[in-house]
Structure 1
Amino acid sequence: MVFSSGRVPGALVAAGATRGVYRTLRAKPPGGSARWQRKNHAGRTVDLHGGLAVAAGVALATAVTPGLPSRTRAAALLATAAAAACGAYDDQAGSAAERGLRAHLRALAEGRVTSGAVKLLGIGAAGLAAGALIARRPVDVALAGVVVAGSAHLVNLLDVAPGRAAKAVLAAGAPGVLRGGPAGTLAVAPVAAAAAVLADDLRERTMLGDTGAHALGAALGVSIVTANGRTGRALHAAVLLALAAVGDRVSYGDALWTAPGIREVDTWGRLPC
Protein backbone atom coordinates (compact mmCIF):
# COMPACT_ATOMS: atom_id res chain seq x y z
CA MET A 1 0.00 0.00 0.00
CA VAL A 2 2.83 2.40 0.87
CA PHE A 3 4.31 2.08 -2.61
CA SER A 4 1.06 2.41 -4.54
CA SER A 5 -0.77 5.32 -6.13
CA GLY A 6 2.24 7.43 -6.95
CA ARG A 7 3.83 7.60 -3.52
CA VAL A 8 7.35 6.80 -4.71
CA PRO A 9 7.16 9.17 -7.74
CA GLY A 10 5.67 11.83 -5.50
CA ALA A 11 8.43 11.47 -2.93
CA LEU A 12 11.13 11.58 -5.59
CA VAL A 13 9.66 14.68 -7.24
CA ALA A 14 9.17 16.50 -3.93
CA ALA A 15 12.66 15.73 -2.63
CA GLY A 16 14.38 16.27 -5.99
CA ALA A 17 12.63 19.56 -6.72
CA THR A 18 13.28 20.81 -3.19
CA ARG A 19 17.00 20.09 -3.44
CA GLY A 20 17.21 21.54 -6.95
CA VAL A 21 15.47 24.80 -6.02
CA TYR A 22 17.50 25.05 -2.83
CA ARG A 23 20.83 24.69 -4.65
CA THR A 24 19.76 27.19 -7.32
CA LEU A 25 18.74 29.80 -4.76
CA ARG A 26 21.96 29.40 -2.81
CA ALA A 27 24.01 29.81 -5.99
CA LYS A 28 22.11 32.86 -7.22
CA PRO A 29 19.66 34.35 -4.71
CA PRO A 30 17.13 36.73 -6.31
CA GLY A 31 17.85 40.32 -5.31
CA GLY A 32 21.12 39.39 -3.61
CA SER A 33 21.96 37.21 -0.64
CA ALA A 34 21.31 39.88 2.02
CA ARG A 35 17.60 39.90 1.21
CA TRP A 36 17.30 36.26 2.23
CA GLN A 37 19.51 36.23 5.33
CA ARG A 38 18.29 36.28 8.92
CA LYS A 39 19.73 35.82 12.40
CA ASN A 40 18.51 32.69 14.14
CA HIS A 41 18.00 31.91 17.82
CA ALA A 42 21.75 31.54 18.40
CA GLY A 43 22.70 34.69 16.50
CA ARG A 44 24.00 32.76 13.52
CA THR A 45 23.27 33.95 9.99
CA VAL A 46 21.05 31.57 8.03
CA ASP A 47 19.15 31.92 4.77
CA LEU A 48 15.47 31.51 3.93
CA HIS A 49 16.08 29.42 0.82
CA GLY A 50 14.91 26.22 2.51
CA GLY A 51 11.40 27.60 2.88
CA LEU A 52 11.09 28.62 -0.75
CA ALA A 53 12.51 25.24 -1.80
CA VAL A 54 10.09 23.11 0.20
CA ALA A 55 7.13 25.16 -1.00
CA ALA A 56 8.20 24.60 -4.61
CA GLY A 57 8.86 20.90 -4.02
CA VAL A 58 5.48 20.29 -2.40
CA ALA A 59 3.61 22.21 -5.10
CA LEU A 60 5.35 20.45 -7.98
CA ALA A 61 4.89 16.99 -6.49
CA THR A 62 1.22 17.68 -5.80
CA ALA A 63 0.73 18.89 -9.36
CA VAL A 64 2.29 15.89 -11.11
CA THR A 65 1.86 12.90 -8.79
CA PRO A 66 -0.62 10.36 -10.21
CA GLY A 67 -3.55 9.00 -8.24
CA LEU A 68 -5.18 12.22 -7.03
CA PRO A 69 -8.75 13.28 -7.88
CA SER A 70 -8.77 16.62 -9.68
CA ARG A 71 -10.63 18.52 -6.93
CA THR A 72 -8.37 17.11 -4.22
CA ARG A 73 -5.29 18.04 -6.21
CA ALA A 74 -6.64 21.54 -6.76
CA ALA A 75 -7.41 21.92 -3.05
CA ALA A 76 -3.88 20.91 -2.07
CA LEU A 77 -2.26 23.18 -4.64
CA LEU A 78 -4.42 26.13 -3.62
CA ALA A 79 -3.71 25.70 0.09
CA THR A 80 0.02 25.18 -0.39
CA ALA A 81 0.48 28.09 -2.79
CA ALA A 82 -1.59 30.52 -0.73
CA ALA A 83 0.11 29.55 2.53
CA ALA A 84 3.54 29.93 0.93
CA ALA A 85 2.65 33.30 -0.59
CA CYS A 86 1.30 34.66 2.71
CA GLY A 87 4.34 33.32 4.53
CA ALA A 88 6.70 34.88 1.99
CA TYR A 89 5.01 38.23 2.48
CA ASP A 90 5.54 37.99 6.23
CA ASP A 91 9.15 36.86 5.78
CA GLN A 92 9.85 40.02 3.79
CA ALA A 93 7.53 42.56 5.39
CA GLY A 94 6.98 41.24 8.91
CA SER A 95 8.13 43.00 12.05
CA ALA A 96 9.63 41.28 15.08
CA ALA A 97 7.84 43.84 17.25
CA GLU A 98 4.47 42.16 16.70
CA ARG A 99 4.54 38.40 16.99
CA GLY A 100 1.87 35.93 17.97
CA LEU A 101 -1.79 35.50 17.18
CA ARG A 102 -2.98 37.78 20.00
CA ALA A 103 -0.77 40.66 18.85
CA HIS A 104 -2.12 40.50 15.30
CA LEU A 105 -5.73 40.24 16.43
CA ARG A 106 -5.18 43.21 18.76
CA ALA A 107 -3.74 45.21 15.86
CA LEU A 108 -6.78 44.35 13.73
CA ALA A 109 -9.06 45.54 16.51
CA GLU A 110 -7.16 48.83 16.45
CA GLY A 111 -7.64 49.12 12.69
CA ARG A 112 -4.09 48.14 11.74
CA VAL A 113 -3.39 45.31 9.29
CA THR A 114 -0.11 43.60 10.15
CA SER A 115 1.69 41.06 7.97
CA GLY A 116 0.55 38.43 10.47
CA ALA A 117 -3.06 39.49 9.95
CA VAL A 118 -2.56 39.10 6.20
CA LYS A 119 -1.40 35.53 6.88
CA LEU A 120 -4.32 34.85 9.21
CA LEU A 121 -6.93 36.08 6.75
CA GLY A 122 -5.21 34.79 3.61
CA ILE A 123 -4.47 31.28 4.83
CA GLY A 124 -7.87 31.07 6.52
CA ALA A 125 -9.62 31.98 3.27
CA ALA A 126 -7.47 29.52 1.33
CA GLY A 127 -8.31 26.80 3.84
CA LEU A 128 -12.02 27.42 3.38
CA ALA A 129 -11.64 27.43 -0.41
CA ALA A 130 -9.71 24.15 -0.24
CA GLY A 131 -12.39 22.73 2.02
CA ALA A 132 -15.09 23.72 -0.45
CA LEU A 133 -13.28 21.70 -3.13
CA ILE A 134 -13.20 18.61 -0.91
CA ALA A 135 -16.43 18.81 1.12
CA ARG A 136 -19.98 19.91 0.36
CA ARG A 137 -21.76 20.71 3.61
CA PRO A 138 -20.95 24.09 5.19
CA VAL A 139 -19.94 22.56 8.52
CA ASP A 140 -17.42 20.29 6.78
CA VAL A 141 -16.04 23.20 4.76
CA ALA A 142 -15.61 25.21 7.97
CA LEU A 143 -13.87 22.33 9.75
CA ALA A 144 -11.58 21.85 6.77
CA GLY A 145 -10.66 25.52 6.83
CA VAL A 146 -9.74 25.31 10.52
CA VAL A 147 -7.64 22.16 10.00
CA VAL A 148 -5.72 23.57 7.03
CA ALA A 149 -5.08 26.99 8.59
CA GLY A 150 -4.44 25.48 12.02
CA SER A 151 -1.92 23.00 10.66
CA ALA A 152 -0.09 25.78 8.83
CA HIS A 153 -0.04 27.87 12.01
CA LEU A 154 1.17 24.99 14.19
CA VAL A 155 4.16 24.16 11.98
CA ASN A 156 5.06 27.83 11.96
CA LEU A 157 4.87 27.94 15.77
CA LEU A 158 7.45 25.16 15.87
CA ASP A 159 9.88 26.89 13.51
CA VAL A 160 11.85 28.59 16.30
CA ALA A 161 14.72 26.12 16.64
CA PRO A 162 16.80 24.37 13.95
CA GLY A 163 15.08 21.29 12.58
CA ARG A 164 12.15 21.37 15.00
CA ALA A 165 9.42 22.15 12.47
CA ALA A 166 10.85 19.79 9.84
CA LYS A 167 11.00 16.95 12.39
CA ALA A 168 7.41 17.67 13.41
CA VAL A 169 6.31 17.44 9.77
CA LEU A 170 8.09 14.10 9.42
CA ALA A 171 6.48 12.76 12.60
CA ALA A 172 3.00 14.08 11.84
CA GLY A 173 3.10 13.09 8.19
CA ALA A 174 4.52 9.57 8.55
CA PRO A 175 1.19 7.96 9.56
CA GLY A 176 -0.43 9.70 6.60
CA VAL A 177 2.14 8.27 4.20
CA LEU A 178 1.16 4.77 5.36
CA ARG A 179 -2.51 5.50 4.72
CA GLY A 180 -4.13 4.36 1.52
CA GLY A 181 -5.86 6.51 -1.06
CA PRO A 182 -5.44 10.18 -1.95
CA ALA A 183 -4.73 11.24 1.64
CA GLY A 184 -1.63 9.06 1.75
CA THR A 185 -0.48 10.35 -1.61
CA LEU A 186 -0.92 13.94 -0.43
CA ALA A 187 1.09 13.34 2.74
CA VAL A 188 4.15 12.18 0.81
CA ALA A 189 5.01 15.60 -0.65
CA PRO A 190 5.46 17.60 2.59
CA VAL A 191 7.24 14.69 4.29
CA ALA A 192 9.73 14.24 1.43
CA ALA A 193 10.29 17.99 1.05
CA ALA A 194 10.93 18.41 4.79
CA ALA A 195 13.36 15.49 4.75
CA ALA A 196 15.23 17.06 1.83
CA VAL A 197 16.20 20.17 3.82
CA LEU A 198 16.40 18.70 7.33
CA ALA A 199 20.19 18.35 7.38
CA ASP A 200 20.75 21.94 6.22
CA ASP A 201 18.18 23.18 8.73
CA LEU A 202 19.87 21.32 11.59
CA ARG A 203 23.31 22.57 10.57
CA GLU A 204 21.94 26.13 10.55
CA ARG A 205 22.65 26.82 6.92
CA THR A 206 19.00 27.53 6.18
CA MET A 207 15.60 27.80 7.84
CA LEU A 208 12.03 27.19 6.73
CA GLY A 209 10.77 30.63 7.67
CA ASP A 210 7.09 31.43 7.37
CA THR A 211 7.14 30.49 3.67
CA GLY A 212 8.20 26.91 4.21
CA ALA A 213 6.51 26.29 7.55
CA HIS A 214 3.11 27.48 6.34
CA ALA A 215 3.39 25.59 3.04
CA LEU A 216 4.31 22.30 4.75
CA GLY A 217 1.60 22.72 7.37
CA ALA A 218 -1.13 23.58 4.89
CA ALA A 219 -0.22 20.59 2.71
CA LEU A 220 -0.42 18.30 5.74
CA GLY A 221 -3.72 19.91 6.67
CA VAL A 222 -5.28 19.04 3.31
CA SER A 223 -4.06 15.45 3.75
CA ILE A 224 -5.72 15.29 7.18
CA VAL A 225 -8.97 16.72 5.82
CA THR A 226 -8.96 14.21 2.96
CA ALA A 227 -8.34 11.29 5.32
CA ASN A 228 -11.05 12.08 7.85
CA GLY A 229 -14.80 12.41 8.05
CA ARG A 230 -16.61 15.01 10.10
CA THR A 231 -15.74 13.55 13.49
CA GLY A 232 -12.05 13.26 12.70
CA ARG A 233 -11.93 16.76 11.25
CA ALA A 234 -13.69 18.15 14.32
CA LEU A 235 -11.21 16.45 16.66
CA HIS A 236 -8.22 17.74 14.69
CA ALA A 237 -9.74 21.23 14.56
CA ALA A 238 -10.28 21.26 18.33
CA VAL A 239 -6.69 20.21 19.03
CA LEU A 240 -5.27 22.75 16.60
CA LEU A 241 -7.37 25.57 18.05
CA ALA A 242 -6.23 24.65 21.56
CA LEU A 243 -2.58 24.66 20.48
CA ALA A 244 -3.04 28.02 18.74
CA ALA A 245 -4.48 29.45 21.96
CA VAL A 246 -1.31 28.50 23.87
CA GLY A 247 1.00 29.36 21.00
CA ASP A 248 3.84 30.86 23.08
CA ARG A 249 4.02 27.73 25.20
CA VAL A 250 4.17 25.57 22.08
CA SER A 251 6.93 27.72 20.61
CA TYR A 252 9.04 28.46 23.67
CA GLY A 253 7.74 26.36 26.54
CA ASP A 254 10.81 25.05 28.36
CA ALA A 255 8.76 22.48 30.25
CA LEU A 256 7.76 20.88 26.95
CA TRP A 257 11.01 21.03 25.00
CA THR A 258 13.28 20.03 27.89
CA ALA A 259 11.17 17.04 28.95
CA PRO A 260 13.04 13.70 28.81
CA GLY A 261 12.56 11.98 25.48
CA ILE A 262 11.30 15.11 23.75
CA ARG A 263 14.58 16.91 24.48
CA GLU A 264 16.65 14.15 22.87
CA VAL A 265 14.54 14.05 19.72
CA ASP A 266 14.34 17.82 19.48
CA THR A 267 18.09 18.43 19.80
CA TRP A 268 19.25 15.45 17.74
CA GLY A 269 21.56 16.61 14.93
CA ARG A 270 21.56 20.24 16.07
CA LEU A 271 24.71 22.32 16.50
CA PRO A 272 25.66 23.20 20.09
CA CYS A 273 24.57 26.72 21.05
Structure 2
Amino acid sequence: MAGTIMRVGLCARRLAQVGLKAAGVTLSWSTSLKSTAQGLNRTNFHGRTVNLRGGVGVAAGSVMAAVEAGRLTRSASTSDLSAPRSGSWVGLASTLATTAGGCAGLVDDLDAGAHDGDLPAKGLKGHLTALARGRVTTGALKIAVIGSGALVSGVLLARHRSAGTDRCHLAASAVDAASSAVVIASWANLLNLLDLRPGRALKTAFIVSAPLLTTPGHDGEPTRLLAAGTLAVSLTALPEDLQESTMLGDTGANAVGALLGTALACHPSRVVRAGAALGGVGLILASEKVSFSRVIADTPVLAALDGLGRRP
Protein backbone atom coordinates (compact mmCIF):
# COMPACT_ATOMS: atom_id res chain seq x y z
CA MET A 1 0.00 0.00 0.00
CA ALA A 2 2.77 2.44 0.94
CA GLY A 3 4.60 1.64 -2.30
CA THR A 4 1.46 2.32 -4.33
CA ILE A 5 0.90 5.66 -2.60
CA MET A 6 4.51 6.64 -3.27
CA ARG A 7 4.22 5.75 -6.96
CA VAL A 8 0.98 7.73 -7.30
CA GLY A 9 2.58 10.69 -5.53
CA LEU A 10 5.63 10.55 -7.80
CA CYS A 11 3.42 10.36 -10.89
CA ALA A 12 1.38 13.37 -9.75
CA ARG A 13 4.54 15.31 -9.02
CA ARG A 14 5.91 14.62 -12.49
CA LEU A 15 2.65 15.70 -14.14
CA ALA A 16 2.64 18.89 -12.06
CA GLN A 17 6.26 19.56 -13.02
CA VAL A 18 5.51 19.44 -16.72
CA GLY A 19 2.30 21.43 -16.31
CA LEU A 20 3.82 24.22 -14.24
CA LYS A 21 6.83 24.68 -16.51
CA ALA A 22 4.68 24.66 -19.65
CA ALA A 23 2.19 27.12 -18.14
CA GLY A 24 4.98 29.41 -16.92
CA VAL A 25 6.68 29.57 -20.30
CA THR A 26 3.36 30.10 -22.10
CA LEU A 27 2.42 32.99 -19.86
CA SER A 28 5.87 34.61 -19.76
CA TRP A 29 6.31 34.62 -23.53
CA SER A 30 2.84 35.97 -24.19
CA THR A 31 3.17 38.65 -21.52
CA SER A 32 6.68 39.72 -22.54
CA LEU A 33 5.49 40.37 -26.10
CA LYS A 34 2.55 42.49 -24.97
CA SER A 35 4.23 45.87 -25.49
CA THR A 36 6.59 44.95 -28.33
CA ALA A 37 4.56 42.80 -30.74
CA GLN A 38 2.43 45.41 -32.49
CA GLY A 39 3.47 43.85 -35.79
CA LEU A 40 1.61 40.72 -34.74
CA ASN A 41 -1.75 42.48 -34.56
CA ARG A 42 -4.46 40.92 -36.71
CA THR A 43 -8.18 41.49 -37.25
CA ASN A 44 -10.37 38.55 -36.25
CA PHE A 45 -13.77 37.45 -37.56
CA HIS A 46 -15.54 40.00 -35.32
CA GLY A 47 -13.43 42.82 -36.72
CA ARG A 48 -11.60 43.19 -33.41
CA THR A 49 -7.86 43.67 -33.15
CA VAL A 50 -6.15 40.66 -31.59
CA ASN A 51 -2.49 39.80 -31.20
CA LEU A 52 -0.63 36.67 -32.20
CA ARG A 53 1.56 36.85 -29.09
CA GLY A 54 -0.82 34.31 -27.55
CA GLY A 55 0.10 31.84 -30.27
CA VAL A 56 3.81 32.48 -29.79
CA GLY A 57 3.36 31.83 -26.06
CA VAL A 58 1.47 28.61 -26.74
CA ALA A 59 4.18 27.43 -29.13
CA ALA A 60 6.93 28.18 -26.60
CA GLY A 61 4.98 26.46 -23.82
CA SER A 62 4.34 23.42 -26.03
CA VAL A 63 8.04 23.06 -26.80
CA MET A 64 8.86 23.37 -23.09
CA ALA A 65 6.28 20.69 -22.27
CA ALA A 66 7.84 18.39 -24.88
CA VAL A 67 11.37 18.95 -23.57
CA GLU A 68 10.38 18.46 -19.94
CA ALA A 69 8.28 15.37 -20.69
CA GLY A 70 11.24 13.87 -22.53
CA ARG A 71 13.60 14.67 -19.65
CA LEU A 72 11.33 13.09 -17.05
CA THR A 73 10.66 10.03 -19.21
CA ARG A 74 14.39 9.58 -19.71
CA SER A 75 15.14 9.90 -15.99
CA ALA A 76 12.37 7.42 -15.15
CA SER A 77 13.69 4.82 -17.59
CA THR A 78 17.21 5.30 -16.26
CA SER A 79 16.18 4.78 -12.63
CA ASP A 80 13.98 1.76 -13.41
CA LEU A 81 16.33 -1.07 -14.46
CA SER A 82 13.39 -3.16 -15.67
CA ALA A 83 12.28 -0.48 -18.13
CA PRO A 84 13.77 0.04 -21.59
CA ARG A 85 16.09 3.03 -21.61
CA SER A 86 14.41 4.82 -24.49
CA GLY A 87 13.07 8.00 -22.91
CA SER A 88 15.35 10.10 -25.09
CA TRP A 89 13.40 9.01 -28.19
CA VAL A 90 10.20 10.43 -26.70
CA GLY A 91 11.87 13.74 -25.88
CA LEU A 92 13.36 14.08 -29.35
CA ALA A 93 10.10 13.11 -31.05
CA SER A 94 7.88 15.49 -29.09
CA THR A 95 10.34 18.39 -29.26
CA LEU A 96 10.85 17.99 -32.99
CA ALA A 97 7.12 17.74 -33.70
CA THR A 98 6.13 20.79 -31.64
CA THR A 99 9.04 22.89 -32.91
CA ALA A 100 8.25 22.03 -36.52
CA GLY A 101 4.59 22.91 -35.97
CA GLY A 102 5.34 26.21 -34.25
CA CYS A 103 8.02 27.36 -36.71
CA ALA A 104 6.02 26.42 -39.80
CA GLY A 105 2.96 28.14 -38.36
CA LEU A 106 4.95 31.28 -37.54
CA VAL A 107 6.20 31.55 -41.13
CA ASP A 108 2.62 31.24 -42.36
CA ASP A 109 1.37 33.83 -39.86
CA LEU A 110 4.09 36.36 -40.69
CA ASP A 111 3.56 35.90 -44.43
CA ALA A 112 -0.20 36.50 -44.00
CA GLY A 113 -0.98 35.12 -47.45
CA ALA A 114 1.44 37.40 -49.32
CA HIS A 115 2.75 34.47 -51.37
CA ASP A 116 -0.66 32.99 -52.14
CA GLY A 117 -1.14 35.13 -55.21
CA ASP A 118 -4.35 36.68 -56.48
CA LEU A 119 -6.39 33.62 -55.48
CA PRO A 120 -5.59 32.70 -51.86
CA ALA A 121 -5.26 28.94 -51.36
CA LYS A 122 -7.63 27.47 -48.80
CA GLY A 123 -7.49 24.07 -47.17
CA LEU A 124 -5.32 21.07 -47.90
CA LYS A 125 -6.69 20.71 -51.41
CA GLY A 126 -6.14 24.37 -52.23
CA HIS A 127 -2.48 24.38 -51.22
CA LEU A 128 -1.72 21.09 -52.98
CA THR A 129 -3.49 22.31 -56.13
CA ALA A 130 -1.43 25.51 -56.07
CA LEU A 131 1.73 23.44 -55.65
CA ALA A 132 0.79 21.25 -58.61
CA ARG A 133 0.53 24.43 -60.68
CA GLY A 134 4.02 25.50 -59.66
CA ARG A 135 3.00 28.01 -57.00
CA VAL A 136 4.57 27.37 -53.60
CA THR A 137 2.40 28.83 -50.85
CA THR A 138 3.41 29.09 -47.21
CA GLY A 139 0.61 26.61 -46.58
CA ALA A 140 2.38 24.08 -48.82
CA LEU A 141 5.63 24.83 -47.02
CA LYS A 142 3.84 24.23 -43.73
CA ILE A 143 2.56 20.86 -44.95
CA ALA A 144 6.10 19.86 -45.89
CA VAL A 145 7.71 21.02 -42.63
CA ILE A 146 5.05 19.62 -40.30
CA GLY A 147 4.84 16.42 -42.34
CA SER A 148 8.61 15.92 -42.26
CA GLY A 149 8.76 16.62 -38.54
CA ALA A 150 5.90 14.20 -37.92
CA LEU A 151 7.56 11.49 -40.01
CA VAL A 152 10.87 11.71 -38.16
CA SER A 153 8.99 11.84 -34.85
CA GLY A 154 7.02 8.77 -35.88
CA VAL A 155 10.24 6.87 -36.56
CA LEU A 156 11.59 7.90 -33.15
CA LEU A 157 8.41 6.76 -31.39
CA ALA A 158 8.51 3.43 -33.22
CA ARG A 159 12.09 3.08 -32.03
CA HIS A 160 10.93 3.90 -28.50
CA ARG A 161 8.30 1.18 -28.60
CA SER A 162 10.68 -1.42 -30.02
CA ALA A 163 13.34 -0.73 -27.35
CA GLY A 164 13.71 -3.62 -24.96
CA THR A 165 12.28 -6.20 -27.37
CA ASP A 166 14.40 -9.03 -28.68
CA ARG A 167 13.25 -8.72 -32.25
CA CYS A 168 12.73 -5.81 -34.55
CA HIS A 169 10.35 -6.53 -37.43
CA LEU A 170 11.05 -4.00 -40.14
CA ALA A 171 7.56 -4.08 -41.65
CA ALA A 172 5.86 -3.69 -38.26
CA SER A 173 8.20 -0.83 -37.30
CA ALA A 174 7.53 0.91 -40.62
CA VAL A 175 3.76 0.68 -40.10
CA ASP A 176 4.15 1.90 -36.52
CA ALA A 177 6.26 4.88 -37.64
CA ALA A 178 3.89 5.79 -40.46
CA SER A 179 0.77 5.58 -38.29
CA SER A 180 2.41 7.68 -35.55
CA ALA A 181 3.40 10.28 -38.13
CA VAL A 182 -0.18 10.41 -39.40
CA VAL A 183 -1.48 10.98 -35.87
CA ILE A 184 0.95 13.84 -35.19
CA ALA A 185 0.53 15.59 -38.54
CA SER A 186 -3.25 15.23 -38.66
CA TRP A 187 -3.81 16.59 -35.15
CA ALA A 188 -1.43 19.48 -35.75
CA ASN A 189 -3.51 20.39 -38.79
CA LEU A 190 -6.86 19.65 -37.15
CA LEU A 191 -6.28 22.05 -34.24
CA ASN A 192 -5.42 24.72 -36.79
CA LEU A 193 -8.64 24.07 -38.70
CA LEU A 194 -10.61 24.44 -35.48
CA ASP A 195 -9.02 27.79 -34.64
CA LEU A 196 -11.76 29.75 -36.41
CA ARG A 197 -13.45 31.00 -33.27
CA PRO A 198 -11.99 32.15 -29.93
CA GLY A 199 -11.20 29.28 -27.60
CA ARG A 200 -12.37 26.50 -29.90
CA ALA A 201 -8.99 24.90 -30.58
CA LEU A 202 -7.84 25.25 -26.97
CA LYS A 203 -11.07 23.73 -25.64
CA THR A 204 -10.60 20.80 -28.01
CA ALA A 205 -7.04 20.31 -26.81
CA PHE A 206 -8.29 20.36 -23.22
CA ILE A 207 -11.13 17.90 -23.83
CA VAL A 208 -8.93 15.40 -25.68
CA SER A 209 -5.89 15.64 -23.40
CA ALA A 210 -7.72 15.40 -20.05
CA PRO A 211 -8.64 11.67 -20.35
CA LEU A 212 -5.07 10.89 -21.43
CA LEU A 213 -3.91 11.77 -17.90
CA THR A 214 -5.39 8.44 -16.78
CA THR A 215 -3.40 6.34 -19.27
CA PRO A 216 -2.32 3.33 -17.18
CA GLY A 217 1.02 1.66 -16.69
CA HIS A 218 4.68 2.57 -17.02
CA ASP A 219 4.38 2.61 -20.82
CA GLY A 220 1.68 5.25 -20.48
CA GLU A 221 3.92 7.77 -18.74
CA PRO A 222 5.01 9.64 -21.92
CA THR A 223 1.35 10.09 -22.87
CA ARG A 224 0.44 11.29 -19.38
CA LEU A 225 3.29 13.81 -19.27
CA LEU A 226 2.62 15.20 -22.75
CA ALA A 227 -1.10 15.40 -21.98
CA ALA A 228 -0.32 17.34 -18.79
CA GLY A 229 1.69 19.80 -20.86
CA THR A 230 -1.12 20.15 -23.40
CA LEU A 231 -3.64 20.71 -20.64
CA ALA A 232 -1.50 23.36 -18.92
CA VAL A 233 -0.75 25.27 -22.11
CA SER A 234 -4.41 25.25 -23.14
CA LEU A 235 -5.74 26.44 -19.79
CA THR A 236 -3.09 29.17 -19.53
CA ALA A 237 -3.82 30.62 -22.96
CA LEU A 238 -7.60 30.14 -22.89
CA PRO A 239 -8.73 33.26 -20.93
CA GLU A 240 -7.09 35.82 -23.25
CA ASP A 241 -8.11 33.80 -26.31
CA LEU A 242 -11.75 33.79 -25.21
CA GLN A 243 -11.66 37.53 -24.48
CA GLU A 244 -10.18 38.16 -27.94
CA SER A 245 -7.08 39.88 -26.64
CA THR A 246 -4.89 37.28 -28.32
CA MET A 247 -5.27 34.54 -30.90
CA LEU A 248 -3.44 31.30 -31.56
CA GLY A 249 -2.88 31.72 -35.26
CA ASP A 250 -1.10 28.91 -37.08
CA THR A 251 1.86 29.30 -34.72
CA GLY A 252 0.01 28.27 -31.58
CA ALA A 253 -2.58 25.95 -33.11
CA ASN A 254 -0.04 23.86 -35.04
CA ALA A 255 2.33 23.65 -32.05
CA VAL A 256 -0.23 22.59 -29.43
CA GLY A 257 -1.85 20.30 -32.00
CA ALA A 258 1.50 18.60 -32.59
CA LEU A 259 2.00 18.26 -28.84
CA LEU A 260 -1.42 16.66 -28.45
CA GLY A 261 -0.79 14.49 -31.50
CA THR A 262 2.47 13.23 -30.01
CA ALA A 263 0.69 12.41 -26.74
CA LEU A 264 -1.80 10.33 -28.72
CA ALA A 265 0.93 8.74 -30.84
CA CYS A 266 2.80 7.74 -27.64
CA HIS A 267 -0.23 5.90 -26.26
CA PRO A 268 0.55 2.25 -25.48
CA SER A 269 -2.77 1.07 -26.94
CA ARG A 270 -2.76 0.37 -30.67
CA VAL A 271 -6.52 0.86 -30.71
CA VAL A 272 -6.19 4.39 -29.33
CA ARG A 273 -3.43 5.23 -31.82
CA ALA A 274 -5.44 3.85 -34.73
CA GLY A 275 -8.54 5.73 -33.58
CA ALA A 276 -6.54 8.96 -33.31
CA ALA A 277 -5.17 8.50 -36.81
CA LEU A 278 -8.55 7.71 -38.36
CA GLY A 279 -10.27 10.48 -36.42
CA GLY A 280 -7.69 13.12 -37.32
CA VAL A 281 -7.56 12.24 -41.02
CA GLY A 282 -11.32 11.78 -41.25
CA LEU A 283 -12.07 15.20 -39.77
CA ILE A 284 -9.51 16.91 -42.02
CA LEU A 285 -11.03 15.32 -45.12
CA ALA A 286 -14.51 16.21 -43.89
CA SER A 287 -13.45 19.84 -43.47
CA GLU A 288 -12.89 20.06 -47.22
CA LYS A 289 -16.62 19.55 -47.73
CA VAL A 290 -18.29 20.53 -44.44
CA SER A 291 -18.07 23.70 -42.36
CA PHE A 292 -17.16 22.87 -38.77
CA SER A 293 -18.63 26.20 -37.63
CA ARG A 294 -21.97 25.38 -39.24
CA VAL A 295 -22.09 21.88 -37.74
CA ILE A 296 -21.27 23.28 -34.28
CA ALA A 297 -23.88 26.04 -34.62
CA ASP A 298 -26.54 23.50 -35.63
CA THR A 299 -25.78 21.18 -32.69
CA PRO A 300 -27.07 22.68 -29.39
CA VAL A 301 -24.63 20.87 -27.09
CA LEU A 302 -21.63 21.73 -29.23
CA ALA A 303 -22.82 25.31 -29.67
CA ALA A 304 -23.17 25.77 -25.91
CA LEU A 305 -19.71 24.34 -25.26
CA ASP A 306 -18.19 26.35 -28.08
CA GLY A 307 -19.60 29.63 -26.76
CA LEU A 308 -18.80 28.96 -23.10
CA GLY A 309 -16.75 31.83 -21.66
CA ARG A 310 -16.53 33.67 -24.94
CA ARG A 311 -16.76 37.45 -25.09
CA PRO A 312 -20.23 38.60 -26.25
Name the TM tier (shorter chain).
over 0.9
Partner of 2:60: 56
Partner of 2:157: 134
Structure 2 distance, partners of 1:87, 1:130, is 18
Runs (4+) of structure 1 moved beyond 6 Å? none
Shift of 1:67: 2.6
Q: Residue type of the partner of 1:37?
A: N
Residue 96 of structure 2: which of 78, 82, 104 is its match? 78
| Other structure's SS at 1:183 match | helix
- Normalised by the size of structure 2, how large is the TM-score? 0.82
Which deviates more from structure 2 when the two are superposed, residues 235-244 or residues 68-77?
A: 235-244
Aligned positions, number: 268
> What's the % identity of the aligned pairs?
38
Matches within 5 A, 1:113-124: 113-124=136-147
Which deviates more from structure 2 when the two are superposed, residues 224-233 or residues 204-213?
A: 224-233
| Other structure's SS at 1:178 match | coil
Shift of 1:229: 4.2
- Say which one has the larger Rg: 2
Structure 2 distance, partners of 1:251, 1:175, is 27
Tell me if the contact between 2:26 and 2:61 (Cα under 8 Å) persists in the aligned partners: yes
For residues 101-131 of structure 1, the C-alpha deviation after alignment (integer angstroms, 9 at most, x for no partner) is: 1100111111211111111111111111001
User: Would the alpha carbon gap of residues 48 and 250 (structure 1) be closer, same or farther in structure 2, given more than 3 Å must change?
Assistant: farther
Q: Residue type of the partner of 1:52?
A: V
Shift of 1:251: 5.1
Is the aligned partner of 1:36 residue 2:40? yes
Partner of 1:168: 204
Shift of 1:231: 3.9
Q: Residue type of the partner of 2:49?
A: T
Shift of 1:249: 5.8
Structure 1 distance, partners of 2:18, 2:282, is 32
Shift of 1:270: 1.0
Q: Show structure 1 runs of 5+ residues with no match.
A: none
User: Would the alpha carbon gap of residues 231 and 51 (structure 1) be closer, same or farther in structure 2, given more than 3 Å must change?
Assistant: same
Q: Residue type of the partner of 2:206?
A: L
Residue 125 of structure 1: which of 148, 151, 154 is its match? 148
Tell me if the contact between 1:149 and 1:218 (Cα under 8 Å) persists in the aligned partners: yes
User: Would the alpha carbon gap of residues 222 and 12 (structure 1) be closer, same or farther in structure 2, given more than 3 Å must change?
Assistant: same
Residue 67 of structure 1: which of 61, 68, 72 is its match? 72
Tell me if the contact between 1:54 and 1:190 (Cα under 8 Å) persists in the aligned partners: no
- Normalised by the size of structure 1, how large is the TM-score? 0.93
Q: Residue type of the partner of 1:20?
A: S
Q: Show structure 2 runs of 5+ residues with no match.
A: 1-7, 74-86, 160-172
| Other structure's SS at 1:89 match | helix
Residue 177 of structure 1: which of 202, 208, 213 is its match? 213
